[in-house]
Structure 1
């Protein structure tokens, strides 16, 4: 990156005398020093009582103190830093700022290029020191020792949004990036504003830590090697902070160093061409709805020439994004990435990597779950310590197991009389704290140590810090002007697990007294499933009666209906209520889309298979951009994700939607054969397909003919054709026209909306 020229004119350029200017400053400084300040400075300087009395008796005590400071070198014609430090030590920061301003105004010794260069070097030094404690304290599993992020970082899938879709009707168009370095260097992602987005557990924080590590260690392979200044801010720590310069000072500059906000502003302005800013955890930023420097920077109303990268959860994007903003999405781990992680971060042991893959092959649900890097790393470390792990069928059971594994590293004391864990009461309090924090308007994910100790007790707090379930850090409370120790639950998904236990308590029969005073509907309305999906899912897996209430609540909305699939499948015992929920769900359209995570696709398929096995009528299944093909057995539709949809005997309508995909006679015949085995099928539709003009009559199953199943082809030109099952030819039934100026994609979307006006897609859930 090009470096700005920060050179400015010196005193000799102005024609003024530096000595005279310094004299003027000394006179002004004397006026700033009152009797109280002089007394406090005298004590701090260690003056003898006689020296202090001499200054007091002087007709100009302020000037006497200034001359003393000059004689002892605390102020010079070019530097008053030592005096400013003393004033701050005396808690006179306001006076220090005024004196600094006076010095800059009265003297002709404005910063030269060399002075500013030195300040820049100081800021870089402070940054690298501050960042080191961040990237050297990675913790992939709670009970593990801290380690450098570079020893555990493995790249997962990284894509940029070549074309942003409409989540209600069409998917985003994603194109892959070869490496995380392409986020900064690829022409495809060229922009001064970039957003890295992902669902919970997909490695946003690990990625940003690796970028910080690359800059601090000056990795020659990194695009950051040419960046002089990297500003890394964790937005979750900036509640009430309107100035980015204030945020930088307290996040980076040591407390005892003389670099204030105006100096930081000057450095960034002078070297803006070689500055990159990383804003982590926008989704946890407390001031999202407040006008601050952070919002202005993101919206490109500040720092137009500075590259800014924002990390956030997929569904929580900043408002008012500049049109040039590029979006990059992390999509998780496949088998190769899982293997790379094991060999790099767990043990350089090929046999271990093979054993983990065998565990996942016998545990398909867990294999899908391991698309999420956080879950994959958990599994890797658990399998490393155990010969084998359980077969899991729910996320709830998996996380219960994970937390049990963590607790096994430290025995919790038992009460000798009752045998009840000594910390049961404290855990219930932690569950409430987690729930209250997540369901606030501005989510709270960290708490002051003093508060947690007062609520949970010192013993419990210390145990949970040692377990790694609580992570402790010292931060500067900028609005209150003090440092404080705060703790946060190790990961937000763990926080959701704890919160779900409190939700179960609210909804369960055992909390009847509380339930009478708590409006259940209001409680559930405070939990957004698109942001806090695991709170719902864990609660459904933990308690059947809570699950019944939650699922009924979710099924009142279109988005909730789709999401309720995941919640239903968290119940390990499938009750009559579960079957009724399945019946209610499949009575309306079921959608499987390429936008969904593999786990949600599998869950949807499981519900369909339950309905088919129980002969519950399935109204309609839409396969949207799934590019299905029939396997060799002819009994399964293989989706683009690799998952298969078996014969659904109670399915009544099947709709397959794709983007001008061409099918051969053989491929079409295979789909017709599969459809004929869905014995309740009444209608089959192909939307947006390029199909053969005629089909050999012999390849049309006789059961389709005998049941007179309607087979439709709906083309991009809005031609509705129905297949004549007796002749194999298409017959035009309806024809619509559209304006030639409409784009192909717009036409395709309009086509889908025309054919499926009631269809609503939910957001991606993992």
Structure 2
């Protein structure tokens, strides 16, 4: 019986990790547009969070260093959209899928346990989660490496929980252009110029942006860089603020969805407003529930099924990226009447 459970676990892990190797950067992409992660993955730039802020290559995060010896408990922090989840998927996809049980039993020091998104844990539970991760629940695997990713956290005495603390710097100009080149090469592989024409057009649009400082901020984030690439296919100009970036992408995605139906211009405009309103309410309420009248928003691509169902047993839904929920929640608040927003401020 035990061996059957282990075999099922191993098979499930292999299928899951294999799925990480082929990704659709955004859920609203057609199924035929899935890309090989190895073709578009651009190595992140990391640095230590100690006083020296030493640059660390991805391949060296497990290597011995003067400040921490050989790290066994590693936390990697990064701003929203900086590639924490994709980094975790890349590590998992690269993992050698040999016999799972024997490998764990006899190669503890070569096991890496990855926790992605510690910042999504309720604040009150953070201290106990740290203890579980580094001490209690994994005491039997004390020789194994534990990697945790999170947005920037401010938990007291956080250093005591792990050996090294790293942060993702984001793309610089060179890595941003490398990412763009890989993206357009992968998404336009069947074209004569192998995506180079589209890429050059995109780079020209970047040069036309008046505010280069804003561009520098946007292009640091892999998620926002990807959004810029998607927008560039549809629009002649690029947005110059984070809010305009999200608004522009939402407009494009909703417009693509509505284009599949035979709607009049007036009907399409009303549906577009209704869709944005529904997504804004879902984001603000943050319950995971979808009202019957709003079921159509599930087809657009901003929501996906959560792993944990509602207490009633019904499916729970979440936004494909936390930043989309934050954007739509902000839209909900901005559309409230002045008297209601005054109550919220107090």
- Pairwise TM-score range, normalised by the shorter structure: 0.7 to 0.9
Q: Residue 495 of structure 1: CA displacement?
A: 1.3
Q: In structure 1, what is the equivalent of residue 206 of structure 2?
A: 360
1:321, distance to aligned residue in structure 2 (A): 4.5
Tell me what 2:191 maps to.
Answer: none
Distance 1:139 1:417 in 2: 32
Do the aligned partners of residues 392 and 344 (structure 1) sit closer, same or farther apart at CA in structure 2, a change above 3 Å counting? closer
Please name the residue that 1:251 is paired with: none
Measure the CA separation in 1 of the matches of 2:93 and 2:272: 38
- Counterpart pick for 1:200 among 56, 62, 80: 80
> Could you tell me whether the CA contact under 8 Å between 1:142 and 1:406 is conserved in 2?
no
Residue in structure 2 matched with residue 209 of structure 1 by the alignment: 89
5+ residue gaps, structure 2, are 186-193
**How far off its partner does 1:121 sit?**
5.7
1:392 is matched with: 239
Question: Which is bigger in relative contact order (C-alpha 8 A, separation at least 6)?
Answer: 2
- Superposition TM-score, scaled by structure 1 size: 0.38
The equivalent residue for 2:189 is none
For the Cα contact (< 8 Å) 2:64–2:71, is it kept in 1?
no
Aligned to 1:452: 290
Question: What TM-score do the two structures reach when normalised by structure 2?
Answer: 0.78
Alignment of 1:278-677 (within 5 A): 278-286=114-122, 289=125, 294-301=129-136, 302-303=138-139, 304-315=142-153, 320-322=158-160, 324-347=162-185, 348-363=194-209, 364=212, 365-383=214-232, 385-386=233-234, 389-411=236-258, 414=263, 420-422=269-271, 424-437=273-286, 447=288, 451-454=289-292, 456-461=293-298, 463-464=299-300, 468-472=301-305, 475=307, 485-506=315-336, 508-509=337-338, 512=339, 514=340, 519-522=343-346
Equivalences, count: 325
Question: For the Cα contact (< 8 Å) 1:476–1:483, is it kept in 2?
Answer: no
Partners of 2:330 and 2:127 in 1: how far apart? Answer: 33
Determine the C-alpha separation between the residues in 2 that align with 1:430 and 1:119: 40
Q: CA–CA distance in 1 between the matches of 2:103 and 2:197? A: 53
Query: In structure 2, do the counterparts of structure 1 residues 119 and 452 end up closer, same or farther at CA, with 3 Å as the change threshold?
Result: closer
- Alpha-carbon offset, residue 343 of structure 1: 2.7
Q: Give how far 1:308 is off.
A: 0.6
For 1:550-593, what per-residue CA distance to the aligned partner results, in whole angstroms no more than 9, with x for missing partners? xxxxxxxxxxxxxxxxxxxxxxxxxxxxxxxxxxxxxxxxxxxx
Q: CA deviation at 1:487?
A: 2.5
Structure 2: distance between partners of 1:215 and 1:484:
34
SS in 2 for 1:422: helix
Aligned-pair CA distance for 1:371: 1.4
| Alpha-carbon distance in 2 for matches of 1:418, 1:124 | 50
What's the offset of the Cα at 1:291?
7.3
Q: Distance in 2 between matches of 1:306 and 1:160?
A: 21
> Is the 1:197–1:330 Cα contact (8 Å) retained in structure 2?
yes
For the Cα contact (< 8 Å) 1:141–1:381, is it kept in 2? no
| Inter-CA distance 488–152: structure 2 relative to 1 (3 Å threshold) | farther
Partners in 2 of 1:458 and 1:283 — Cα distance? 29
What is the RMSD computed on CA atoms of the aligned residues? 3.5
Q: Contact conserved, 1:136 with 1:146, CA < 8 A, in 2?
A: no
Q: Cα distance, 1:288 vs. partner?
A: 5.2
CA distance in 2, matches of 1:187, 1:416: 62
In the other structure, the counterpart of 1:140 is 25
